[in-house]
Amino acid sequence: REQIIPVFRMSTMLWAIVTMAVVAESAWESRVSVGEKNVGEESEILCERNWVVVLSTGRAGSTSLMKMIDSVPKISMYGENHGLLNLLYDQLLEGFEATNEAFHHNAIDSIRIRKATQDFLLEMMGHRDNNETFVGFKQLTKRIPNLNLVSETFPCAKYIINYRRNISAQVQAHMNRDMDPELRGPDFEEKTRKFLQNQTDYLMAFHREHEQNSYATQ
């Protein structure tokens, strides 16, 4: 039963995405008219592309989910970017906060910086514009400790929250794949369990905060 439920939930979610893809831009524009995208410069710049972002804990089937979504017509879905968002964010903070004359710069426009980040990710994914209506990527939460960074960079994205309900099985998957048994400490399993539970709780909190434009799978 535990194996059937995730497949069913994924199929339901994919059906919703297929529907979005079929109706394509007309449906997106109707959402704009009812206020899903905020009016203003930020939305005009950051929401001109339709993004789909999969946020997931590790060993929860996110790679299979990514491939399933990528197979849907009018969607280009890419893999992880090695925490590139987090790396860029750290560098941006240093730039914004720099006061030393050696790092002199004029006022930085945070909206245009976030748009440049979107464009940079597209280049890093090798994306070339074609007839796709949606474009996106997947990312593990352990590589983006601050998920607000994602929502600030992609404020109008559709988020797919992917997690594994059976934490014990997820822990076992980590132990089977990620570490030589001889290198595990006596409390490795418990630490991994707590880490995954915290990551799952964080994901679900993000989902509740963005429930109008996020979908949870397990």
Read off the pLDDT of each residue in 41-61 and give the average, rounded to a whole number.
91
> Residue 89 in contact with residue 147, Cβ under 8 Å?
no
- How confident is the model at residue 42, as a pLDDT? 83
State which of 64-68, 129-133, 176-180 shows the largest mean pLDDT. Answer: 64-68
Summarised one tens digit per residue, pLDDT across range 105-131 is 787 888 988 999 999 999 999 998 877
Residue 98 φ then ψ, to 5°: -65, 130
In the block, tokens 């939930």 appear at: 9
Read off the pLDDT of each residue in 173-180 and give the average, rounded to a whole number.
74
Q: How many residues does the chain have?
A: 218
Q: Which domains does the chain have, with CATH numbers?
A: 4-217 (3.40.50)
Question: Please, which pLDDT band fits residue 180 given cuts at 50, 70 and 90?
Answer: low
Count Cβ neighbours within 10 Å for each residue of 12-44 and write b for 16 or more, e otherwise. Answer: ebbeebbebbeebeeebeeeeeeeebeeeebbe
Per-chain mean pLDDT for the chain: 80
> Residue 139 in contact with residue 56, Cβ under 8 Å?
yes
- How confident is the model at residue 161, as a pLDDT? 94
Read off the pLDDT of each residue in 85-108 and give the average, rounded to a whole number.
75
Summarised one tens digit per residue, pLDDT across range 144-162 is 888 998 999 999 999 999 9
